Amino acid sequence: MKEKIRETATQLFLERGFKSITMDDLANEIGMSKKTIYTEYSNKTELIEDCVMNKFCSLSDGIDLIIAMDKNPIEELYEIKKYVMSHLNDEKSSPQFQLMKYYPKIYKNVKAMHFNKMQKCVLHNVQRGVQQEIYRDNLDTEFVARIYYSGMNSIKDQNIFPIDHFPVSKLMDAFLEYHLRGIVTPKGKNILNSIINSNQQ
C-alpha cells in the first residue's frame, strides 16, 4: 500500500510539481480514499520527504551500478546523465526549485546528500580520467568536482535558463560537453567527439 502511494506520488510530483499536487489529487489518481493515504502518511510534507529520499536512494544505487561497469570516465558521465534524465521526467516541473521554495528543510537535507554523492562520484571520475590520460594531468581535481556540481545545479534554474529556450535534455548535453572540453587531453577529445557524434546519429 505505502509503496503504491509513494510511487504514484513521486510520478505526480515530478510531472506537475510538489506544490500543485494535493492529497485529493493523489487519492483520485490511485483510486483510494484520502483517509487511507493518511493512515500511511500523517501529512503531505511527510509524504514528500519519503518520495524525495526514496528517489534519491534509487538514483544513487543506479549510479553506483553504472560506475561498477568501469567504462571510460567520459562515457561514464554520459551514461549517468542519460540514466538520471530517464528517471526524472526531464524535470519539467523544476522540482528542485519548488522543493527549495516550499519545503526548505527537505531541500537542505537532500542537497547535502546530493553534494556528498556527486562530489565523491565526480572526484573519482576525474582521478580515473587523469590516470587514463584522457583528462589533463594538471587539474585541481577537487576544484573540477565542485565546479561541476555547482554548474549542474545552476543550469536547473529556469530564471536563467528558461525551458522554452533551453530544453532540459539539450541543456544537460551542452553543459556536459562544456565541462569535458575544458579538462580533456587530445586523447580524451577523440573519445568525446566520438560519443557526441554517435549521440547525434
- pLDDT attached to residue 156: 83
Concatenate the DSSP letters of all residues of the chain into one string. Answer: -HHHHHHHHHHHHHHH-TTT--HHHHHHHHTS-HHHHHHH-SSHHHHHHHHHHHHHHHHHHHHHHHHHT---HHHHHHHHHHHHHHHTGGGTT-HHHHHHHH-HHHHHHHHHHHHHHHHHHHHHHHHHHHHTTSB-TT--HHHHHHHHHHHHHHTT-TTTS-TTTS-HHHHHHHHHHHHHHTTB-HHHHHHHHHHHHHHH-
- pLDDT attached to residue 90: 52
Query: Domain extents for the chain?
Result: 45-200
- pLDDT attached to residue 61: 96
- In CATH, what number does 45-200 get? 1.10.357.10
Print pLDDT tens along the chain (201 aa).
999 999 999 999 988 889 889 999 999 999 999 999 999 999 999 999 999 999 999 999 999 999 999 999 999 999 999 998 888 765 555 677 788 889 999 999 999 999 999 999 999 999 999 999 999 999 999 999 999 999 998 898 888 998 889 988 889 999 999 999 999 999 999 999 999 999 876
